[in-house]
Every structure is written in C-alpha cells, then in structure tokens.
Amino acid sequence: MAAAVTRRINASLHVEATGNGAADGESRRDSAAAHSPAAKRINDAKNSDVWVAVQEGDMPGDSSRALLFRTMKVKGSILHPYRFVILLRLIAVIAFFIWRIRHRNHDGVWLWFMSMVGDVWFGFSWVLNQLPKLNPIKRVPDITAIRDQYESSTSGESKLPGIDVFVTTVDPVDEPILYTVNSILSIIATDYPAEKYACYLSDDGGTLVHYEAMFEVANFAKLWVPFCRKHCIEPRAPENYFGVKRQPYMGSMQEEFMSDHRRVRREYEEFKVRIDSLFNTIYQRSEAYNRKNTKEDGVKATWMADGTQWPGTWIEQAENHRKGQHAGIVKVILNHPSYKPQLGPPASIDNPFDFSNVDMRLPMLVYLSREKRPGYNHQKKAGAMNVMLRVSALLSNAPFLINFDCDHYINNSQAFRAAMCFMLDPRDGQNTAFVQFPQRFDDVDPTDRYANHNRVFFDGTMLSLNGLQGPSYLGTGTMFRRAALYGMEPPRWRADTIKVISKAKEFGESTLFINSMIDGANQERSITPLFLEESVNNELSTLMTCAYEDGTPWGRDVGWVYNIATEDVVTGFRMHRQGWRSMYCSIEPAAFRGTAPINLTERLLQILRWSGGSLEMFFSHSNAFLAGPRMQPLQRIAYLNMSTYPIVTIFILAYNLFPVMWLISEQFYIQRPFGSYILYLIIIIAMIHVIGMFEVKWANITLLDWCRNEQFYMIGATGVYPTAVLYMVLKLITGKGIHFRLTSKQTEACSNDKFADLYVVRWVPLLIPTIAVLIVNVAAVGVAIGKAATWGLFKEQAQHAVLGMVFNVWILVLLYPFALGIMGQWGKKPAILFILLLMSISTVAIMYVTFRAIYPSDWSEIATSLGKQN
C-alpha cells in the first residue's frame, strides 16, 4: 500500500535533476519526466534520424510475457554508405599493397621491407577493428513494461528478483571515503524494493574507518532514504545532489520540499563532518584505551567504540593487524528488512519531517574484509569480488548481482529495473550473463583533454559489440547473473538440470555454500535472509580465508578471473566463450557516474594497465583463438583486436621516429616514387576519417569526442603501448607479472581549482618516448623548411620534404594535448606553446641552412654510402 502511495506521489512530481556543473549536458535533463511517454517520444524523435526500431515478430518463449526492451538499428541511409566506404577502403588498402610490391625499392630494400611489414600490420589491425563494427545495435529498456508486469500498482507488491550489490574499496585516503559513502548511500536509496536487494562493501584495507563510516551511513540513511523517496530525488548520492546549484521544483509540495531540503542538507553537512573526523575520533579513542591497557611490548591496538580491539589493520601496524595480514571480518550493519512496507511517522514537535506516506525500510547492508596473509597472492579486485560472491551466497543469495568501484554512484535510480528488462525478457533473457552500462564521469575538464569520457569506446565500440554477442565486461556498473559467475553454462547449451552437486568439491569445502548454489541460480528468486547463528558465522569465516580457494577452479573457471592486470575483460570473455550473451544498456540520464583521472601521468598509467592486461590476455588461456565454437566469429575478432591492439605501437613509433633519418640524409626513402606513395597514404588515412565521421553520426557523439580519441590514441601509442609491449616481452622471458597500482582518485577535487590535477606534472619514464617523438617531429618540420629554403620550392627534393612534413605536422597536432600536459601550469596558456614551437622550428631551419652552406654535400654522401652497404 505504502509503496503504491509513494509511487503515485512520485508520478505527480517533476524534479529537475542533477547536472554536475560541468559541460556535460546529459545529466541536467529532467529525470522524473525522462521516463514518461512524452519524453520518450522526444528522445525517439531526436534519434530517429539515425536509429530505427527493428520489427520484432513473435519470439520463441513465453508469449504471455511482454517484451521488455526494443531493438534499434542504424537507418539504412547511414548504414549502407558506411559499409560501402569500409569496403572501398579495403579495396584501396589492397591496391596500395600491390602497388608497393610492384615498386619495390632497390636502394634500401631493408627499409622498404620493414615498412611493408608495418603497413601490413596496420591494414590487418584495421580489419580486426573495423569488421565487428558493421552492425551496431541499440536496445532500449522499457521501464513501464517491467513495472506493469512485475509490480502491482494497487498492492505495492513486487515480483522483481533479488539483487546483491557489491562495492569494492581499498584505502580510505587514496580512494576518498566521501566517494565511498556517497556510493553506498546512492545504492541504499535507489528505487528498488528494499527487501529485494542487499548492499556489500568489501574493504581490502581492513580499516576501522570504513567500518565505522558504514554505521554513520546507516544512521544518515534513515533520513536520506525516505527524503529521496518522498520527493523523488535524483541523483540519490547526496554529494552530487547537493552539488547542483539550481533545483527548480515542480511538484505539488513546494513548501514542504523546500523545508525538507533545507533540513536534510544541514544534516548532510553534519554527517560529512562526522565522516571527516572519523580518523581523529578513532585515533583518540584508541590512545585513551591504550593508556589504560598498556602492554609491556608497547603494541598499540586500535579500538572499536564498544571497547574491543579491531580485528583488522591497526593505525600502528602490528603482528596480525597490518595491511596484508589480518583476519577476515564480516559484519551485518543493517539487517534484512521486513517484507511489508513500513510507513514513517507524521510530522510532530520533535520530528519536522512528515514521512507518513513513505516506506521507511532500508535494504540490508554488510561490511566485509577478507582475510589477508603474507605469502598469498590476493589477486586484487578479482580476489575481493570472489570472496563477496561466496559470502553473499550465505547472507542473501540473490540470483543477480551488480558491482561498482567505490568511486561510482547510481545516478538514475531506475537503473536496476533497466538492467532487469534485459535479464527477464522472454526472448534471450535466460541466456544473458551480464548487462553492461556505459561509464560516465564527473569532474572531467570541460574540453576533456585526455579523452576521459571515452565516448568513441562507450558509445561506438560497445554498440557494435551489442549487435554481436554483446559488450565486453568493463569492470564497474555491470549486472551479473549469479549462475554465470559460478561458471555454469547458459540454458541454451545445457541440459535442463544444473549439475552443481556432482562437482561439489570443485567449489571448495563449504557445504552451506554449495547447498546455496542451486537456489542462487534460480532467476525468479528474491533474496533469502539467513538467521545468523554460530555455525553460519564460522562458515562465513571459512569462506573468507586465503586458503579456501587452494586447489579449486576459483579464479579460472569460477568467479572473477585471476593473474591478469585487467580481470574484467577476461571474466566477460569466459562467459562469451561458454555461449552466454551480454547486453549493453545506455539510458538517460546516465545510470551511473564515477570519477576519472584527469592528471596526464595517472591517465597514462591507467591505460598502461589496460593495454598491459590486453597483451597478457593474448598470451594466456583466455586467448580468443582458444575460445571454442560457441563464440560468434565477429565477437572472436573483436576479442582478438582487444588483446592485440598495443602491438601496432612498434610500427607507429618507428614511423614517428623515421624523420631522424632525414636529418642525416635525403637519400632514405621508404618507397619510390615518393610523391605517389604519400598520395596513397593520404587517401587511405583520409578514408579512415570518413568512416570515423559515419561513426560520429551513428554513435551520436561530438566531433570533439572523436578528435580527443584520435589524439589520445597517438599519445598512448607513442609512450604507453611500447611500455606495455616491453613489459609483456619481459614477462614472457622472466615469467614475472606486471605490478599495477591503484588508480589514484582526484583528491584535489575539494581545492579551489576544480581541475588542479590537470596542471600537475608527475615525471615518469613513460613520458620519455612521446617527448622524443615530439622533438623529432618538430625538428623534421624545421629541416623541411630549411630544405625548401636551400633547394627552392620547385626542386624535387624540397617538394618531398614538404610532403613529408604534412605527416610531421599531423603528428604534432595529435600530440598537442600531451605537449600541453607536460607544460604543467604553463599549459594554461597555450600561446606559450605556440611561441616555443615556432622558435624551435625556425632554429632548426636556420641551423640546416647554415650547415648546408658550410658542408654542401659530405654528410649526405657518407650516409648514402652507409645506406647502400646494407
């Protein structure tokens, strides 16, 4: 009843949502209205010049159940020319190779041959990249349909299945605790029946601060959650909600909203102060206890509020209480709520809030920190996820689960329902292992200098995969089917009964866990709260030990995959090779939002980990060639591309550094006739850009997004990918893996300059190759100008130099964000960069001219003779 009342009130509201103040317009859109038919029509109209609905006839399966999503494809007038240009380019590339073979260089065969290998690889990797993009598909979840089918508007009763929500964190400082509590609050307050989901926080640091922060969260949630429900607040992460300047309210309770808003805001400020002072509170409390209980060995424990010692890591690290060495901890902070809605109290003298029409229940909230022991490889996030998978099986055992990094929050509280539209759809729902949402980011600088938004990937590449077997798993914002994580086969490929029991031993020694598995695989189920007895507690501890997985397939065939820098892509890959499919779910306003590194070095280190992980994938049991017959051919190609793309760097780097040769001599030619060669290249490269423009159109991204992507590709390809390749070679030789550190979150976010991190230079060797490329190409431009001046523009030599210069300039344009980045604070004034650039170019040009005047030919002849010897 209460839920129904709340929903009706909600429907009459009209709340202007979010908007982070940044240039990102999407989140500023009206949230409550976004789901209304009117809004849908507007969205459809906006998209109809690109996307058209696919006519969906009778689908196999239960015909009494409504379809829960619509499928859209790119309109023929865009799709056909797009495919045609791709075909044209394929022909052009082949013609180019034939031409090159016919015009082999005779004076520098080695150079010709090497560049030929490079060009063949460019062509090949382009095919790998392009083929999977031929059929992009968009799927639009129908929230109204799922409500109609699974929720009763009169009784408020819901048949929606259960969801376990996983959040991972490690360090309360590196990953600011404010992000984590906001993430948890947005989850607890999301619009999904409270008795149908549970929230788990995995704290790999085992710090008391996180544990106590969860108590503060549980307390503040008692106010925050009913407030969100009553007024349909979006987004439900308080920091982001209050961060917006303007909040016009169109509901019928204007006055009440204003006063509630004001009060909640004040409470939130106090809540933040308490969170901030937790470090201090705990420190002082522990000092006080330690004074009372001084031990001879002088070990200082960290104490909990109830006067017992914290089992996790201590402020002053001690035996069994340090990072990487402590017991497993699991604490239920909020217990599973009752099945019936509970209305709140009306306003009174000591309670200013009228919650008499609002369901006050909160979902289950659990804190856990797995056991850590020296000598064990804890497998980072993947290890933490697997422990959560087992622990949650005993505590709530929902058939679905969704995972978030601690810096991501729910921005659209219909997101869970949207994901369910795919999981429960009568067509292929049963065979869907996971639903991936795009990653969207706050706090990125307005021009997105380092392509943090990654729109080409999230809106282009992912929609393409969606038309095949489905998007790859991207690490956060992903709804999973529990059965798929247990390594079970999709229904399409398995006998009716799930045979887990026969393999019991494979999943470890816990009978309780194994008994829970069949139940957890049943998609109709809600969650089963378990009465916490002593025996269950013991079992939970067992499930969290380091030794539990010894000799089992955990980390390979079960759960998240181990021994790789990027656990995400391979975990999704394992499901796809089993024949599962996945779905991409992009909704407005964005389902989830998170933070991204805007510092150049951090960003480069992040893509170093991704590209290193990709190569590791290629050289592991997760190689796409080994995937077996259930993987779709084009999906396999996409995975092949995903795991080999960094290799191209060898050739890109070689080409980018090639102008060094020209400094020594004019006689080095990759290909003759040089003029035609350059022309061919220009055509082939231009065609990539034409294809790119089609992709900009159907992916509905901006030109800036696309340019940034091009630029950052070149920045990555000159510095990061070579490093990744080097690491991989070393790993293959020495057998030692790559150590990647946590991506540092933006801690300067609170300082005066919101984008301060953008202007901080952290010098690392990773920057060197790109700097070298910059210098070489600036010099090459200078030399080209010098040549033109020396020889006169109409001499062949000078013309060649100028033609070659086109590429040098192009590379400089691509590396422009990098150049700004290494200038640090000076990067705020790009004019300085241009002055520097002009000065260096003219210096080189003048040097060349003078040098020529003094030594007209010697150098060049020496170099030529060297070239001929080879």
Residue nearest to Mn ion according to CB distances in the complex: 405
Q: How many residues does the chain have?
A: 870
Which positions from 441 through 500 interact with ligand UPG, judged by CB under 6 A?
Answer: 475-476
CB-nearer residue toward Mn ion: 204 or 405: 405
- Partner interacting with residue 384 (select from Mn ion, ligand UPG, none; CB below 5-8 Å by kind): ligand UPG
Q: Is 381 annotated as a binding residue?
A: yes
Q: Is 380 annotated as a binding residue?
A: yes
In the bound complex, what is the minimum distance in angstroms from residue 377's beta carbon to ligand UPG? 11
Q: Identify the residue among 115, 130, 169, 571 touching ligand UPG (CB under 6 A).
A: 169
Instruction: Find the part of the chain contacting ligand UPG (CB under 6 A) among 80-88, 168-176, 265-273, 328-336.
Output: 168-176
Fill in the amino acid letter for 455.
R
CB-nearer residue toward ligand UPG: 247 or 743: 743
Q: Identify the residue among 29, 380, 481, 576 touching ligand UPG (CB under 6 A).
A: 380
User: Cα–Cα distance between 215 and 487 in angstroms, integer?
Assistant: 35
Choosing from 30, 142, 171, 204, which is the catalytic residue? 204
Q: How far is CA 353 from CA 3, 156, 699, 852, in A?
A: 18, 23, 45, 85
User: Cα–Cα distance between 609 and 809 in angstroms, integer?
Assistant: 30
User: The tokens of 507 are what?
Assistant: 């999943």
Examine residue 574 and tell whether it contacts ligand UPG (CB under 6 A).
no
CB-nearer residue toward Mn ion: 174 or 506: 174
Instruction: Find the part of the chain contacting ligand UPG (CB under 6 A) among 331-339, 463-471, 564-572, 674-682.
Output: 564-572
CB atoms within 10 A of CB 571: 27
CB-nearer residue toward ligand UPG: 207 or 566: 566
How big is the site for ligand UPG, counted in residues (CB under 6 A)? Answer: 19
- Partner interacting with residue 742 (select from ligand UPG, Mn ion, none; CB below 5-8 Å by kind): ligand UPG
Choosing from 24, 142, 568, 757, which is the catalytic residue? 568
Q: Identify the residue among 6, 168, 190, 386 touching ligand UPG (CB under 6 A).
A: 168
Compute the Cα dihedral for 811, 812, 816, 819 and give only its sign: positive
Q: Is 175 annotated as a binding residue?
A: yes
Q: Is 496 annotated as a binding residue?
A: no
CB-nearer residue toward Mn ion: 164 or 405: 405
Closest CA to 582 of 600, 569, 593: 569
With left for phi above 0 and alpha for psi between -120 and 50, is residue 206 left, alpha or beta? left
User: Cα–Cα distance between 189 and 182 in angstroms, integer?
Assistant: 10
CB-nearer residue toward Mn ion: 236 or 603: 603
Which positions from 772 through 811 interact with ligand UPG, judged by CB under 6 A?
Answer: none
Which positions from 579 through 598 interact with ligand UPG, judged by CB under 6 A?
Answer: none
Examine residue 370 and tell whether it contacts ligand UPG (CB under 6 A).
no
In the bound complex, what is the minimum distance in angstroms from residue 818's beta carbon to Mn ion? 22
Examine residue 566 and tell whether it contacts ligand UPG (CB under 6 A).
yes
User: The tokens of 838 are what?
Assistant: 């002009």
What does the DSSP assignment read for 735-773? ------PPPPP-SGGGSSSTTGGGG-----GGGHHHHHH
- Partner interacting with residue 170 (select from Mn ion, ligand UPG, none; CB below 5-8 Å by kind): ligand UPG
Run of H or E including 734: helix 721-734
In the bound complex, what is the minimum distance in angstroms from residue 606's beta carbon to Mn ion? 8
Instruction: Find the part of the chain contacting ligand UPG (CB under 6 A) among 187-195, 449-457, 553-561, 566-574.
Output: 566-574
CB-nearer residue toward ligand UPG: 178 or 663: 178
Q: Identify the residue among 137, 160, 165, 170 touching ligand UPG (CB under 6 A).
A: 170
In the bound complex, what is the minimum distance in angstroms from residue 167's beta carbon to Mn ion? 12
Long-range contacts of 838-842 (CB under 8 A, 24+ apart): 840/778, 840/779, 840/782, 841/778, 841/781, 841/782, 841/785, 842/782, 842/785
Examine residue 175 and tell whether it contacts ligand UPG (CB under 6 A).
yes
Which positions from 402 through 431 interact with ligand UPG, judged by CB under 6 A?
Answer: 405-406
CB-nearer residue toward Mn ion: 71 or 744: 744
Given a contact cutoff of 8 angstroms between Cβ atoms, the answer to whether 310 and 316 are in contact is: no
In the bound complex, what is the minimum distance in angstroms from residue 17's beta carbon to Mn ion? 24
Instruction: Find the part of the chain contacting Mn ion (CB under 5 A) among 233-241, 398-406, 440-448, 512-520.
Output: 398-406
Terminal C-alpha separation, the chain? 87
Closest CA to 821 of 453, 454, 448, 455: 448
User: Cα–Cα distance between 424 and 68 in angstroms, integer?
Assistant: 8
Residues 6+ apart with CB under 8 A from 257: 231, 249, 251
Examine residue 405 and tell whether it contacts Mn ion (CB under 5 A).
yes
- Partner interacting with residue 381 (select from ligand UPG, Mn ion, none; CB below 5-8 Å by kind): ligand UPG
Instruction: Find the part of the chain contacting Mn ion (CB under 5 A) among 85-93, 303-311, 397-405, 669-677.
Output: 397-405
Instruction: Find the part of the chain contacting ligand UPG (CB under 6 A) among 140-148, 531-539, 563-571, 806-814.
Output: 563-571
In the bound complex, what is the minimum distance in angstroms from residue 746's beta carbon to Mn ion? 11
CB-nearer residue toward Mn ion: 100 or 380: 380
Q: How far is CA 392 from CA 164, 204, 389, 509, in A?
A: 7, 16, 6, 16
Which positions from 195 through 234 interact with ligand UPG, judged by CB under 6 A?
Answer: 202, 204
Q: How far is CA 291 from CA 87, 116, 280, 294, 302, in A?
A: 78, 75, 16, 6, 12
Closest CA to 31 of 587, 535, 527, 576: 587
- Partner interacting with residue 520 (select from Mn ion, ligand UPG, none; CB below 5-8 Å by kind): none
User: Cα–Cα distance between 13 and 707 in angstroms, integer?
Assistant: 40
Sheet containing 478-481: give its strands across: 329-334, 364-369, 197-203, 163-169, 400-405, 478-481, 432-436, 581-584
Run of H or E including 198: strand 197-203
Which residue's entry shows tokens 């080209």? 784
CB-nearer residue toward Mn ion: 119 or 239: 239
Q: How far is CA 260 from CA 17, 354, 396, 540, in A?
A: 17, 9, 34, 41
Given a contact cutoff of 8 angstroms between Cβ atoms, the answer to whether 199 and 363 are in contact is: yes
In the bound complex, what is the minimum distance in angstroms from residue 565's beta carbon to ligand UPG? 7
- Partner interacting with residue 204 (select from ligand UPG, Mn ion, none; CB below 5-8 Å by kind): ligand UPG
Look up 568 and say whether it is catalytic: yes
Residues 6+ apart with CB under 8 A from 696: 702, 703, 705, 706
How big is the site for Mn ion, counted in residues (CB under 5 A)? Answer: 1
- Partner interacting with residue 302 (select from Mn ion, ligand UPG, none; CB below 5-8 Å by kind): none
In the bound complex, what is the minimum distance in angstroms from residue 478's beta carbon to Mn ion? 13
CB-nearer residue toward ligand UPG: 89 or 408: 408
Look up 204 and say whether it is catalytic: yes
Backbone angles phi, psi at 59, to 5 degrees: -100, 150
In the bound complex, what is the minimum distance in angstroms from residue 758's beta carbon to Mn ion? 18
Given a contact cutoff of 8 angstroms between Cβ atoms, the answer to whether 353 and 159 are in contact is: no
Q: Identify the residue among 397, 606, 641, 718 touching ligand UPG (CB under 6 A).
A: 606
In the bound complex, what is the minimum distance in angstroms from residue 740's beta carbon to ligand UPG? 8
Q: Can you tell me whether residue 295 is helix, strand or coil?
A: coil
Catalytic residue numbers, as ranges: 204, 568
Residues lying near Mn ion in the complex (CB under 5 A): 405
Residues lying near ligand UPG in the complex (CB under 6 A): 168-170, 175, 202, 204, 380-381, 384, 405-406, 475-476, 566-568, 606, 742-743
Binding residues for Mn(2+): 381, 405
Binding residues for UDP-alpha-D-glucose: 175, 204, 380
Binding residues: 175, 204, 380-381, 405
